[in-house]
Amino acid sequence: MQYRRLSSNCGVRVSPLCLGTMNFGGATPEPESFAIMDRALAEGINFFDTANVYGRTHWNEKHEGHAGLSEEIIGRWFAQGGGRRERVVLATKVYGNMPTAAGFDPDREGGLSARRIVLDCEASLGRLKTDYIDLYQMHHIDRACPVQEIFDAYDTLKRQGKVLYMGSSNFAGWDIARYNETARRLGQPGLVSEQSVYSLKNRAIESEVVPACRHYGVGIIPWSPLSSGVLAGRSLKSDSTGDGARRASPRVSTQLDDTTQSRVNAYEGLCKELGQSPATVALAWLLHNPVVTAPIIGPRTLEQFTSSLPAIELKLDATTLTKLDEIWPGPGGEAPKNYAW
């Protein structure tokens, strides 16, 4: 396993694949979740990602589980001991709506107020059965909240030893610049990572987000690296891959249009020539980008987890990378050149 720094402005080293736990609880029973995490550590995967809202399936009629269940499952796994917590670089998130035992609280309805960040961090620590979170990520941007208020909340948590690093998710390029410039002005550490949707099929972030992350030394953690299963080799089956639960959502499991299907066919043909599975190639392509830290794999089963591991060792040559660009063209480079001239 070749570990890599979380970002160029952060010293902690993580595995080149990140274990996403969104399925734990709602789609993956606790015993199998435990087995996946045990196997991850055995294989050298030390980077785990979750969120306070994970644990309930929102894409089917059963709605199993509840918000917070994924963190609870990880906490019970940590509680078994054996150095589990010490060996994991743990990432979770704040922003999403969380129910409270005391009833309705308008400040818990989504957002990044200082009160919200501190209260939800305490709740996540309790569910995770740990004293600290390695990477505490803002799940979405909250432009209505002053940036300095957010930094003050993070600074409080860092001084208390409850949070080590600050990360973002689903931020625009100018948000990443704004947060890091604010950190510079305040004399505080800025963002070390950005978790964003990124795949061969969806390369929109190459226009603004990738250049911003490269400039500020922010590592990119791609979510949905298989584009909801489209890049997994069985694109029209909603339950075929471990690319997170989004693949079964009505908003992503629609029939592919003719252009996309043609690209899928060409892509799968190229992967067959390479003797590699489409999922392996898709993950390896992301790892080829030096700004990418670790794609998130979101397995429902142990088999799906193990099927992702070959991507770590696969190196794509220049000819293959060119062919992939031809099949899955990006936004045409970085802004403003990709639209101005």
pLDDT tens digits for range 91-103:
999 998 887 666 6
Q: Which residue has the higher pLDDT, 58 or 197?
A: 197
- The reported pLDDT for the residue numbered 56 is 77
**Segment 273-326, tens digit of pLDDT:** 999 999 999 999 999 999 999 999 999 999 999 999 999 999 999 999 999 999
- The reported pLDDT for the residue numbered 279 is 97
| CA-based torsion, 221, 223, 227, 233: positive or negative | positive
Which stretch of DSSP H or E encloses residue 270? helix 258-274
- The reported pLDDT for the residue numbered 211 is 98
* Arithmetic mean of pLDDT, 108-132: 93
- How far apart are alpha carbons 341 and 336 in whole angstroms? 8
Residue 126 has pLDDT above 80, yes or no: yes
- How far apart are alpha carbons 204 and 217 in whole angstroms? 19
- The reported pLDDT for the residue numbered 63 is 57
Residue 112 to residues 85, 108, 204, Cα–Cα distance (Å): 27, 9, 25
* Arithmetic mean of pLDDT, 163-192: 97
- The reported pLDDT for the residue numbered 248 is 42
- The reported pLDDT for the residue numbered 98 is 82
E strands along the chain, which residues?
4-7, 10-14, 18-20, 47-49, 89-94, 133-138, 163-169, 191-197, 219-223, 296-297
- How far apart are alpha carbons 333 and 243 in whole angstroms? 26
- The reported pLDDT for the residue numbered 236 is 43
- The reported pLDDT for the residue numbered 58 is 57
* Percent of the chain residues past pLDDT 70, beyond the cut: 89
Can you give the CATH number for the domain in which 14 is found? 3.20.20.100
Residues annotated as part of the active site: 54
- How far apart are alpha carbons 292 and 222 in whole angstroms? 7
* Percent of the chain residues past pLDDT 90, beyond the cut: 84
- The reported pLDDT for the residue numbered 1 is 87
Q: What's the pTM value of the predicted model, to 2 decimals?
A: 0.92
* Arithmetic mean of pLDDT, 160-185: 98
- The reported pLDDT for the residue numbered 102 is 63
Q: Measured over all CA atoms, what is the biggest interatomic distance in the chain, rounded to whole angstroms?
A: 59
- The reported pLDDT for the residue numbered 227 is 96
**Segment 54-86, tens digit of pLDDT:** 997 655 555 578 999 999 999 999 999 999 999
- The reported pLDDT for the residue numbered 108 is 63
- The reported pLDDT for the residue numbered 243 is 56
**Segment 241-256, tens digit of pLDDT:** 455 434 444 444 455 8
User: DSSP letter at 235?
Assistant: T
- The reported pLDDT for the residue numbered 336 is 96
Q: Of 35-39, 96-100, 296-300, 333-337, which gets the smallest average pLDDT?
A: 96-100
Domain tally, the chain: 1
By residue range, what is the domain housing residue 279? Answer: 4-340
E strands along 216-329, which residues?
219-223, 296-297
The per-residue pLDDT of the chain, averaged, comes to: 91
